[in-house]
Amino acid sequence: MMKKSIILLTGVLLASCSDRKLAESLAAVKDAGMPTENADGTTDIRALIERARWGDGQAYLKLADCYRDGIDVKKDFLGMLAMIEQAQTRGAIHDEKEYITQIPDTNDLKDLYYLLEKCDKPQGEEKDNAMAQLAANDSPDASAWLGFMYVQSGDSIRGLELITDASERGSSLGTLLNAFLYCRRNNRPDKAKLEQFAAKTPMVYKMLGKLSRRPDENGKVDEREVAYYYLKADEHALLSPWEARWLLNYHEDVGIPGLTDEDVERLQAFARYPDEIDEAIVDSTYVDSIQ
């Protein structure tokens, strides 16, 4: 499906970080303070992120709404899709169509979703028509995906120009595609360069984590580096259950400086299957305090 073509780009990809760097990554979240409800009763974006980090599927759906409508965050097609994917993983929805169909018809991201879905069709008149519509759509996200289609068809120069332009115009999708293509062109990509992409689009931290799991020329894996990138993804509620389990196993083996018992409890709750998560959240006074 179209969504998987985007979200799972990182799944096709195959510098070390100090203990202090790991500790600073954790401290940055803790120092921000406990999120609270707004005065008008609406949920603060940080409160939603914290609930999502405990595995709350409904929080992911609300975060998708925030990215869809630009509430407390930049309106972002990729951010919306990422939160839909997380909500589906937690069992909050059956599939992305369940969410997409309820988006108001006046929302341009709904139109973009269905347009990109057409691009998944085999080569033919329908796909050519979809590319023409993308070219007529001036949004950065449409340009980013049009560029990716050009790259796939063999016109890398034109495609990369469109993707780079889309990224510079603020498209998170463009930034992710740029990072993906950069990795594809370089057998051993510069992680510092990828961190520049990640600063704009945090999903790239997952890509960096996957890259860091590859053994170096000596057959070694810097697991501290993997842990650092997964913790950065976790800050943005982008961690997968598998990645949460990896962090827990790593912490059990060697320890992560600054990871508290509360952090471990949260990761354990997140790593459980959806039907086990609700009970873990109800039992947590920490999560109750931010709902």
| pLDDT given for residue 124 in this prediction | 67
Give pLDDT, residue 202: 93
Alpha helices in the chain (DSSP H): 2-7, 19-30, 45-53, 57-69, 77-89, 96-100, 108-118, 125-136, 140-153, 156-168, 172-185, 191-200, 204-212, 223-235, 241-253, 261-271, 274-282, 285-288
82 backbone φψ class: left, alpha, beta (φ>0; ψ -120 to 50): alpha
Span 75-97, pLDDT tens digits = 999 999 999 999 999 999 999 99
pLDDT at 11: 41
Paired tokens of 1: 């499906």
Please give the model's pTM, rounded to 2 decimal places. Answer: 0.80
The three-class DSSP label of residue 238 is coil
Contact criterion met (CB below 8 Å) for 275 and 91 = yes
Predicted confidence at residue 14, as pLDDT, reads: 33
Q: Which amino acid is at 33?
A: G
CA pair distance 288, 291, nearest whole angstrom:
5
Low-confidence ranges of the chain (pLDDT < 50): 2-5, 7-20, 29-37, 39, 41, 275-291
